[in-house]
Amino acid sequence: MSDPVLIRLAVNGDTHTAAVPARKLLSDVLREDLGLTGTHVGCEHGVCGACTILLDGRPARSCLMFAVQAEGHQITTIESVAVNGSLSPLQQALHEQHGLQCGFCTPGIVMTFEAYLRENGSPTEAEVRDVLSGNLCRCTGYQNIVAAILSAAEAMRGDEP
Amino acid sequence: MKPAAFEYHRPESVDQVVALLAQFDGEAQIIAGGQSLTPMLSFRMSRPAHLIDVNALTSLDCIRVIDGVLEIGALTRHHRIATDPLVHAHCPLLAEAAGTIGHYAIRQRGTIGGSLAHADPSAQLPLITTLLNAEIVLAGRNGQRAVPARGFFLGSLDTAIEPGEIIVCVRIRIPAVDAGWSFELFSQRRGDFAIVAVAVLLLLGETGKVERLSIAIAGIGPTPLSMDNVSQASLGRMPDAAWQSELVTTLGDSLEPDDNPKFPALYRKDLARNLLTRALASALSRAERSRA
Amino acid sequence: MNAPHGDYVQVGKPLPRREDRRLLTGSARFLDDIAVPGALHAAFLRSPHAHARILSIDVASAAAMPGVVAVVTGRDLAKLTTPLVMAPPIENLVPTEMTTLPIDKVRFQGDLVACIVAKDRYLVEDALEAIEVDYEVLRPVTNFAEATAPNAPLVDDTLQSNLLAHQTFQQGDPAARKRGAHAVVEARFSQHRMTHVPIETRGCAAVWDEGREHLTFHIGNQVPHPLRTNLARRMGLAESQITVICPDVGGGFGQKIALYREELTVAALARQLKRPVRWREDRMENLQAASHAREADCVTRASVDNEGRILGLELEITEDFGAYCFYPGNYIARVIALILSGPYRISDYAYDLKVALSNKCGVGPMRAPMAMTSWVMDGTIDAIARQLGLDPVAVRRINMLKPDEFPYTMPTGEVLEDITPAPVFEAVIDAIGYDDFRRRQAEARAHGRYLGLGLCSVVESTTYGSRFYKFAGIAGSGHEAAWVRIEPSGAINASVGLMGTGQGYETPLAQAVAEGLGVDASRVRILLGNTDVAPYGMGSRGARGATAGGGALFLCGRKAQAHVLRIAAHILNLNSAEELRLRDGSVERCLDGEWTAAGLGIEDVARLAYLDPMALPSGMDPGLDFSLTYDPPPMTYSNSAHACEIEFDPGSGAVTITRYVVAEDCGTALNPMIVHGQQQGAIAMGLSGALLEQVFYDANGQNLSSTLADYTVATACEIPNLEIISMNTPNKRTPVGQKGMAEGGVMGAIGAIANAVNDALTPFGVVADRQPLTAPYLHGLVNGRR
């Protein structure tokens, strides 16, 4: 019943195969079998948001999925966000505005907003806070994260200052 | 916090799901969005021998309008319901409520069928379907049957789904376009399950009197409560301040919340009165605006 | 030894953080990201009962489960490890002892029963279900009152009672002040139990090298060297047989200081099995059984004159310490009692503190262990204002220490200096627009809306020097150690005994070295957390990082600079280095009052020191390797004033924070951006705790808050933006005038929010005297229910 099944996962544009038990969580397979440890596990019950990845471009808690369920879908993780070593506007803004401290929750926040800012390029502060409420941060008090997201949105829109 | 072992199945049609359910008779559990089920599996509060993943049934991810009925496939995600133009046009109340479920990432995965089948007593979609007495369509070995929402929720995490059945869609009779509506939710934090939530649908007649009034409330008992038995007395009344306060008093008095250590019964009863007051005012103002 | 305060080149810049890049791109290495080939996974069976005797444990079926390598109980561990003895030389503190795993009895729900090691975490959890334990359930004590009632069941069977500590103190004659007072104002404060919730839970990985008889212990911990000392002692190893390595750490907040029983078990099993073993605590374990904090009740009695002037003050404090002592049981309550008077002029003072064991998770320090101090003190001031019908601002002003009263000796003997309570308070009153608020508040009330403004002044004890430890009778030291190494190329490595858990040490500590040495901060790399690399230091706790750690590094940098300049003087054929300095890595010479480049860089000196030592001044050793230890003043203090504006909704009981202003004077900021981040984080933690969080035990001692859906940490929607006023009065006794900070925000937030709520509740004639200030609690209060 816990025999491994062979699965094929499309992650960050690469195809990986892994033999894992059906019950193995996507978060665990990404981290342990694929070595993509940037996706963090903070609660394993879907509350903290640290393990958020993109599934077909949409944010999803990787602790609330089994890896076998992700077959046939495109998975995107934090490791793919910076391209050729250059930070995305969101990552850059988080760095400049001190939007992270211990950084454990950060990958989940980055993934959530890489997706959200594509859906809503001009969010209000209230909208940003509403979406951010799905990611717990124990260090920052959120203020600098919110400011960074708003300025990243601005940078991505290419607004005149 | 790792799930117990199970065998995984990924059927591609409702018939296949039904066949698998029959084959594993009581030993199988359906997983859709998994936003409530997966934690229960990880806590080992649920430990099915077989997990039937219905995410490949993409035809159940659909929203359409047929003959005055808004039909939403069971696999439709909350985020889609919250942002879909058809839902906004025909049942904005549902869109608004769906947009408050959990958090952004949760809403990308969670499905309407999953939420109804899970039947958390304070969840949004059981409340709204109860208010609108939506039809929940189930498929099983003997074909399909439709269960009205008000007979669907039997208790906390308990529904009229029989072993061997799966929810395929939800049918909502589209409310009158000029009906006022409101959804009020109070939770400790953003995204938490409601302590109490209230939904109202109010239609005013040509003379401005109450023509239809539906009220439902969640967080009081083991299932969402339809308060239509109380609200029917309002039909034909002018929706003035006296009506509102009488109605809130009557509704409030009829509530008998169960007690729990964090949110005592007396608190939830008062909170319900407070939310009912706000919800009636808000539904009335929408109804009046659409008449104007 | 102190540098002149002021003109710093590297210190004081808001440099963005070094750590960010790896954290933002997913390439950081937290504990679970470290690959340990062949590692087995440990997991623990935990007690379902709050209090029970273990009659028998049958591990046979579990041992036969797939993938299982070992199943061990308390009896097995007792052969591999020694117990933790907590018996510091403190008067009226009962010594305690605990085995590595319980043997006969479990003392709280979530207490440890057995450990299984298996091939992976899934299999190990399967096997846990197969252990059969026969318990005899005992009656639990679940709060201080139950624990100290006559004939209460004993939490620790080896003790006479559950009372762990009872200490009293008196200065002056508070009883006499009561007799002569215009009024005696009594106020109560009940602080609920909380827990730290680092987003990364605890965990460790132990690798035993049998050939070398050496343990490498990977763990996210705030105090690597003291941890190593404890680990060595309890495993019967020499400290040279253990290397503790702390990777990136996902938050600590005080939870990652002690050597916990799970960690010791994992280390002992790795040695026993001669195979690497790792453990990752799951969230439920973290919430139930890692460490809790804060559960204490205070009663104050203030004797006052008719203007609200405090003539005498009495404090009674009782604390529920939980089931086990990982720290001396009196220490947290003691600090609250020691610094209670804070920024106020109080000469006659007495306290009575009692700490008891209970059948709940053990308590430890959490960001501002003394968090409730400022709430109790400023809440007492508000109680005085309420009872006497005075303006709370006026009562604060009349009692607050004025600038010319420093240095001021508190009634407990603690000396306050270089702090600025009055200017900071006035800055906040001014910024919040106090008079205008009172007008808006009256207007709102007329429309059935309830606004409240809460004030809270904080004096935060930040850095504890070794003289404080001696004075307070606590074993330990407050010094810190550092080394700075200029490599042959002129690159700079430096290390200190601190360990960061998210503060961003790598940048401000580089600035401290750079300032002392005279180079750009970008040239300095800070190495932390490896006990083979870092010097033995006391680690990160309290708010000692900037003063103890930054101070040691700055001074070590200065020592290095002096040496570099001696060599430079020799190269330049000067008699002394007096007219030389190092700036941005270049040697500069003062000629006619002007600093000009001497045409020599740190690289040149380094090359000489390493590769041409014969060219060094005679008698000078080759190399550029410096180290020192630094013992800070007995205690340093930061101070702040908080103002919080809220709206209270009587219909739901909800509190909405509408504005928050804080003015803080934490001395010289090594990096003001980091300081701001710490202020925001501390205040958020305070507000979250005061409004939302609660470790919730039922009468049977069952923990009802063991998921993050039940232990509710604030989201981005509950925490407001903060307005921060920065003040930087240097501490004259520390190397660059730094004071330390990062806990005061919690203290001020807890007090300011409570005082704001009570201000809003004034029309209802009720006072909220316990936290959390949840909607149901406040709603009950205004509706006549407790």
Contact at CB, A69 and B53, closer than 8 angstroms: yes
C-proximal residues of A, 102-131, CB under 8 Å: 102-107, 110, 128-130
Name the residue among C283, C692, C704 with its Cβ closest to that of B188.
C692
Q: In the numeric block, which tokens belong to residue C478?
A: 């407050």
Angle between helices C421-432 and C392-399 (to 10 degrees): 160
Give the model's pLDDT for residue C60.
98
Q: At what angle do helices C373-388 and C744-761 cross, to 10 degrees?
A: 30
The structure's pTM equals: 0.97
**B163 preceded by a cis bond (ω within 30 of 0):** no
Q: Quote ipTM for the complex.
A: 0.98
CA distance B5 to chain A (A): 5
C648 and C445 in contact (C-beta within 8 Å)? Answer: no
Averaged pLDDT for residues B215-220 = 97
Task: Evaluate if residue A158 carries a pLDDT over 90.
Answer: no
**What pLDDT does residue B261 have?**
84
Q: Which residues of C touch B (CB under 8 A)?
A: 121-122, 125-126, 129, 282-284, 651-654, 692, 696, 698, 704, 707, 709, 712, 714-718, 774-776, 779-780, 783, 785
Please state the three-class secondary structure of C439-468 as a single string: HHHHHHHHCCCEEEEEEEEEEEEEEECHHH
> Which positions in chain B touch A21 (Cβ < 8 Å)?
5
Amino acid C395: pLDDT:
98
Q: How far apart are CA C424 and CA C406, in angstroms?
A: 15
3-state secondary structure of C381: helix
Give the pLDDT confidence of A11-39 residue by residue, as tens digits: 999 999 999 999 999 999 999 999 999 99
Q: What residues are paired with C22 via a beta bridge?
A: none
Interface touch B190/C718, C-beta < 8 Å: yes
Q: How far apart are CA C185 and CA C165, in angstroms?
A: 27
> Is A139 part of the contact surface with chain C (CB cutoff 8 Å)?
yes
Q: How far is the C-alpha of C199 from the C-alpha of A107, rounded, in Å?
A: 12
For residue C53, the cross-strand partners are: C105, C136
Residue A66: pLDDT over 60: yes
Give CA–CA dist C207/C218, Å, rounded: 8
Number of CB atoms found within 10 A of residue C698's CB: 12
* Cβ neighbours, 10 Å, residue C474: 18
| CA closest to B191 among chain C residues | C715
Calculate how close chain C gets to A72, using CA atoms only, in Å.
24
Cα B95 from chain centre = 11
- Indicate the residue of C26, C251, C713 with minimum beta-carbon distance to A102: C251
How confident is the model over C265-321, as pLDDT tens digits?
999 999 999 999 999 999 999 999 999 999 999 999 999 999 999 999 999 999 999
State which H helix or E strand residue C70 sits in: strand C68-73
Say which of A21, A25, A131 has its CB closest to residue B104: A131
DSSP, collapsed to helix, strand or coil, labels residue C774 as coil
Closest CA relative to residue B117, chosen from B155, B151, B167, B45: B167
Partners of residue B195 in chain C, C-beta under 8 Å: 775
The minimum CA-CA distance between C454 and chain A, rounded to whole Å, is 20
- For residue C26, give the nearest of A78, A105, A142 by CB distance: A78
CB atoms within 10 A of CB C150: 5
Shortest CB distance from C673 goes to which of A82, A98, A107?
Answer: A98
Got the DSSP string for B172-224? EEPPPTT-EEEEEEE-SSTTSPPSEEEEEEEEE-TTS-EEEEEEEEESSSSS-
Distance CA B229, CA C641 (A): 55
- Proportion of chain B above pLDDT 90, given as a percent: 97
Runs of H (alpha helix) within C129-223? 144-148, 174-179
The burial of B40, by beta-carbon neighbours within 10 Å (0-12 exposed, 13-18 middle, 19 or more buried), is given as middle
**Which residues does chain C have with pLDDT short of 50?**
1-5
Q: Which residues contact A15 (CB under 8 A, 6 or more apart)?
A: A8, A9
User: Dihedral of CA B52/B57/B61/B62: which sign?
Assistant: negative
| Per-residue model confidence (pLDDT) at position B121 | 96
Place B12 in a pLDDT band, splitting at 50, 70 and 90.
Answer: very high
Q: For A45, which residue in chain B has the nearest alpha carbon?
A: B39
Whether residue C698 and residue B261 make contact (CB cut-off 8 A), yes or no, is yes
Work out the minimum CA distance from A117 to partner chain C, whole angstroms: 17
Kindly report, residue by residue over C322-378, the tens digit of the pLDDT. Answer: 999 999 999 899 999 999 999 999 999 999 999 999 999 999 999 999 999 999 999
CA-based nearest distance C687→chain B, Å: 13
CA distance A133 to chain B (A): 7
Minimal C-alpha gap between C367 and chain A (Å): 11
Chain C contact set for A142 (CB, 8 A): 684, 715-716, 719
A136 and C282 within 8 Å at the Cβ level: the answer is no
- The bridge status of strand C183-191 relative to strand C296-304 is antiparallel
The yes-or-no verdict on residue A161 having pLDDT over 70 is no
Determine the Cα–Cα distance for residues C695 and C711; give it in Å rounded to an integer.
7
* Rounded (10°) CA dihedral C590, C593, C594, C595: 30
Taking an 8 Å cut-off on Cβ atoms, the answer to whether A65 and B38 are in contact is: yes
Q: Write out the two tokens for C650.
A: 């009587």
| Contact between A134 and B191 using a beta-carbon 8 Å cutoff | yes
**Is the Cβ–Cβ distance between C74 and C245 less than 8 Å?**
no
Q: How does pLDDT run across C660-685, given as a tens digit for each residue?
A: 999 999 999 999 999 999 999 999 99
C chain contacts of residue B277, beta-carbon cutoff 8 Å: 651
Please tell me the distance in Å from B58's CA to the nearest CA on chain A.
13
- A19–C contact, CB cutoff 8 A: no
Omega cis (within 30) before B175: no
Burial B78-117 (b: 16+ CB within 10 A, else e): bbbbbebebbeebbebbbbbbbbbbbbbbbbbbbbbbbbb
Distance between CA atoms of C641 and C648, rounded to whole angstroms?
22
> Which residues of chain A neighbour B34 with C-beta distances below 8 Å?
64-65, 69
Check CB contact under 8 Å for C502 and A101. yes
Question: What is the rounded distance in angstroms from the CA atom of residue B85 to the CA atom of residue B91?
Answer: 10
Question: What span, in angstroms and rounded, lies between the C-alpha atoms of B255 and B265?
Answer: 10
Q: Which residues of A touch B (CB under 8 A)?
A: 1-2, 5, 21-23, 25, 44-46, 49, 52, 55, 58-61, 63-66, 68-69, 112, 116, 129-131, 133-135
Q: Which of B4, B8, B55 sits opposite A5 (nearest CB)?
A: B8
Query: In the structure, what pLDDT confidence band is assigned to residue A1 with cuts at 50, 70 and 90?
Result: very low
What are the helix (H) ranges across chain B? Answer: 14-23, 37-42, 78-83, 85-90, 92-98, 104-109, 112-118, 124-132, 228-231, 241-254, 265-291
Kind of pairing between the strands at C112-118 and C40-46? antiparallel
User: Is A133:B105 a contact under the CB 8 Å cutoff?
Assistant: no
Judge: B271–C651 Cβ closer than 8 Å, yes or no: yes
